């Protein structure tokens, strides 16, 4: 079996490699960026992909990666390994095509359980995340993130990092004007007028890079 791990944290990659080797995975490929991950996918055609959502700081680029992958490949199982526990981000990852979602602070035993289920074509969410999503759907979605496009979520995540527009443009490979326009759209959707207000909401709903765990 061939598995591709896409993550920019060496400790996470090391931990995944150890667990995968213990499970008898024959070939393990690693990529430290989403672009490298997609190239490796095209070259190696792995049987399964494990991907972090927040490559390049807090940009949530993993969502775009999964959506792009699904344009070319509907079958290869994808397990998200992320520090984001917000139920709207979990739901969005599943919507764009992830087969399972696992938090980075999970135990080795749960990682193995999630891996095997996704490998076998079954969906995976731990009980807590599944309960949160079910509760959210039952009461009606009130989280402002539900109204965001992928580009808006990525921009908002980088705003939560406190990054200036020019840096956001460089990380997302878009123009400065695009970032300005996206920020204006975000302000309108979230009912705020200033960048500090937008940053406050971003920090409230999206974990910042400073809170990331390395395992």
123 with 156, same domain: the answer is no
Q: Which of 47-56, 141-150, 199-208 has the highest mean pLDDT?
A: 47-56
At which of 139, 155, 189 does a domain end?
139
152 with 53, same domain: the answer is no
pTM of structure: 0.76
At which of 95, 110, 139 does a domain end?
139
- What's the total number of domains in the chain? 2
Region 80-86: what's the mean pLDDT? 87
135 with 160, same domain: the answer is no
Query: pLDDT of 141-153, one tens digit each?
Result: 556 676 788 888 8
CATH number of the CATH domain containing 50:
3.40.50.2300
Q: Are 1 and 48 in contact (CB under 8 A)?
A: yes
- State how far the Cα of 111 lies from the Cα of 149, in Å rounded to an integer: 29
Average pLDDT across the chain, whole number? 86
131 with 152, same domain: the answer is no
Query: pLDDT of 101-127, one tens digit each?
Result: 999 988 999 999 999 999 999 999 987
CATH number of the CATH domain containing 203:
1.10.10.10
Characterize 147-169 residue by residue with b for buried, 16 or more Cβ atoms within 10 angstroms of its Cβ, and e for exposed. Answer: ebeebbbbbbbbbbbebebeebb
Residue 130 belongs to domain spanning = 2-139
């Amino acid at each position: 079996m061939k598995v591709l791990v896409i993550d920019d944290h060496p400790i996470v990659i090391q931990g995944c490699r150890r667990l995968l080797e213990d499970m008898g995975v024959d070939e393990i490929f690693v990529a430290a960026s989403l672009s490298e991950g997609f190239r490796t996918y095209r070259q190696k055609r792995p049987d399964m992909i494990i991907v972090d959502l927040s490559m390049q700081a807090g940009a949530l680029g993993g969502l775009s990666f999964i959506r792009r992958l699904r344009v070319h490949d509907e079958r290869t199982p994808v397990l998200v390994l992320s520090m984001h526990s917000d139920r709207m981000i979990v739901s969005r990852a599943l919507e764009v095509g992830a087969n399972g979602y696992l938090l980075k602070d999970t135990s080795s035993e749960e990682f193995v359980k999630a891996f095997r289920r996704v490998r076998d074509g079954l969906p995976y969410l731990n009980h807590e995340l599944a309960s949160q999503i079910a509760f959210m759907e039952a009461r009606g979605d009130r989280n402002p993130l539900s109204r965001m496009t992928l580009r808006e979520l990525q921009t908002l995540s980088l705003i939560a990092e406190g990054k200036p527009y020019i840096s956001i443009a460089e990380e997302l490979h878009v123009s400065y004007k695009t970032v300005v326009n996206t920020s204006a759209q975000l302000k309108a959707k979230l009912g705020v007028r200033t960048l500090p207000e937008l940053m406050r909401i971003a920090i409230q709903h999206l974990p910042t890079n400073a809170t990331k765990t390395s395992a």
